[in-house]
Amino acid sequence: MFFKKLKNKDLSELQKRNALINQYILIAQALELQKRVWLQEVIKELGLDERKSWNVDSNSGKITELITPKIEVQKNEPQTNQRNPK
Q: Read off the pTM.
A: 0.63
SS (H, E, C) the chain: CCCCCCCHHHHHHHHHHHHHHHHHHHHHHHHHHHHHHHHHHHHHHCCCCCCCCEEECCCCCCEEECCCCCCCCCCCCCCCCCCCCC
State which residues form the domain around 21. 10-65
Per-residue model confidence as pLDDT tens digits over 38-86: 999 999 999 999 999 999 999 999 999 998 877 776 666 666 665 655 5
Q: Is residue 60 part of a domain?
A: yes
Q: Is residue 71 part of a domain?
A: no
Instruction: Give the chain's domain count.
Output: 1
Q: Is residue 57 part of a domain?
A: yes
Per-residue model confidence as pLDDT tens digits over 6-50: 999 999 999 999 999 999 999 999 999 999 999 999 999 999 999
Q: Is residue 72 part of a domain?
A: no
